[in-house]
A and B are shown apart, each in its own frame.
Chain A
Amino acid sequence: MSESRKYPFPEIDSDICKGCKLCIEACPTNVLVISEKLNSKGFHYAEYIGEGCVGCGNCFYTCPEPSAVTVYLKDYVPEEVS
């Protein structure tokens, strides 16, 4: 992730996402949208519009795919990459 990104924010693995839209429905600030693009499995995947995340975690908890959504919360400190 880029250093310039503002916490909190969600990261969606576009290849894993099955495009069910549960996260989009669950997002209180409507900052998730469905992409017009298809991933390798033929799903229109969910995307973060880049700002407005409040770190509520709804998208994480409603997403049925264990690794599709990661949410970096306000106090997150990026791990050093050696």
Chain B
Amino acid sequence: MFLLPRRSLRRSPSFTGCNMEKKTVLRKPKGFIDVYKHKPGAEKDRTHYCPGCGHGILHKLIAEALEDFDLVEKTIIISPVGCSVFAYYYFHTGNLQVAHGRAPAVASAVSRANPDSVVISYQGDGDLAAIGGNNINQAANRGENMAVFFVNNAIYGMTGGQMAPTTLEGQKTTTTPYGRNVKTDGYPIQVCELINTFTAPVYVTRTSLQDMANIRKTRTAVRKAIMNAKEKKGFSFVEVLSMCPSGWKKDSLQSQQWIKENMVPRFPLGVFRDVSEEAETVERPVPVMDTEEVKKIFGYSDFKASTIQKNTEANFKKISLRVSGFGGQGIMSTGIVLANVGMEYGYNVSWLPSYGPEMRGGTANCSVKIQEDTIGASEVTEPNMIIAMNQPSLEKFEKIMVPGGALMYNSTLIDIEPTRNDVDIYKIPITGIADELGDTRVQSMVGVGAFAAITGLFDPEEIVSLIPSLFAGKPDKVLNMNEEAVRKGYDYVTENYSV
């Protein structure tokens, strides 16, 4: 028995299942489709790229890596807008062609939908750094499990040679006919440097197609990024400085020279970050789709049909209630509790909060309807009952009450008397009762208890029986106090008014 060298132990998992035997022929890799069936027209055996275009080189390096690592079938490539809009013509993978700049957003969802796939987002400089600038940054920042290949050729190729975010200072394009003026157009954006400011990416590198040595470095980078995606290591970003002979109005060799002399000084080559080895694996959850399991998580079996009987003798058959007061007085919860209790009694109920700017002003109100019939409008514009917890509320809502309604107001905080004499008035020290119980916050349940007494709709003990579910998760002390509040509110009304 002998020990394997440590190096091969470490490296071996990366190459499981890879077709890495020594090549005896270099030919069109199997990552490409044999016949480009999606390409319209007669020429289904060649690309749409111009002579000397860097896209074809990068495509080949990707297709070769996919074949060598046996990943063609599980790869999904996102084609952008730009010259590589038709990348899907060529790759024998799953393909999505997407809106301008959005490849990283689409790829994020594709990767999450298919966590075991290899997702490649392929973009040019206009797509990635201009219109899609935010999307690439955010995908990088989330550490999405994908390989991004960013072709930087300092120009918009597809639309005919306009300025790109990476166009160099002084560079002439069809929209910078006098050369890019950094005073008006800004500076060429250095994307690797930007991506490298985020914490999540595992591999950030800039390579070039300017000569063979750099094409081979690009090949290494492509393979690493793809392997990272396969091994779920997160976000890998490969920027490739690439020739655009048509856009630059140069031949291929002049274009390679131009990269060397002009682009590299602004866009220095090299690995900005490589933490692939120590990267944690990106794990995604498995969706629960089984119906029984779904029902279990929702707790379907915990729900029990209510057996509470309606009070046919109730004073009110139909409630249109406004509850109103300061924020923090439990206005919303008073309404929600009443609607919930009404629902348990088998009534149709609705609750509508006031929302928006008026909530910011410190007052809050809500509408509650409880009735036998189907409810129309949920906003209560003509209440037959109001619960006014503070003075502005009383002043505002007593005006819109219908005659014969019930007006309950919080006499602890309201010094004035209601002006309406065609409604029944219930002057109740709601806050005071709550304070006597030891916690102002139970005032909403005092109101609920008083409501039950005034309307005759609810039995206080039935409300009390619902409290544990209404206040689920609260300690017993809180539950007890709220139960007591319901009873106190109820008793106050029955002791002081004939209802």
Contact = CB atoms under 8 A, between A and B. Distances in A.
Given A61-B57, A61-B215, A67 B28 contact: yes
Interface stretch (B17-25, B440-448, B469-477): B17-25
Interface string A10-38: 00000010111110011000000000000
A57 B26 CA distance: 7
Most buried by B among A25, A26, A62, A77: A62
Mostly helix, strand, loop or mixed at chain A's interface?
loop
B23 to A, nearest CB: 7
B245 interface: yes
B63 A21 contact: no
A68 B60 CA distance: 11
Contacts of A66: 28-29, 32, 47, 56, 59-60, 63, 90
Contact of B22 (A26, A65, A75, A77): A75
Nearest to B49: A64
Contacts of A48: none
A80 B134 CA distance: 54
A16 B219 CA distance: 23
Contacts, number: 96
Interface residues on A, range: 20 to 34
B70 interface: no
A25 B253 contact: yes
Interface in B210-231: 211-212, 215-216, 219
Nearest to A18: B51
Most buried by A among B25, B63, B209: B25
Interface string A38-82: 000001000000000000011011111111111111111100000
Interface residues of B, number: 37
Nearest to B27: A70
B26 A64 contact: no
B76 to A, nearest CB: 19
Contacts of A70: 25-28
A16 B60 contact: no
Contacts of A74: 24
Given A22-B256, A62-B209, A66-B28, 9 more contacts: A16-B46, A21-B253, A61-B219, A63-B56, A66-B60, A67-B32, A67-B45, A73-B23, A77-B24
Q: Which 7 A-B pairs have the closest CB atoms?
A: A64-B56, A20-B52, A18-B51, A20-B51, A60-B26, A71-B26, A70-B27
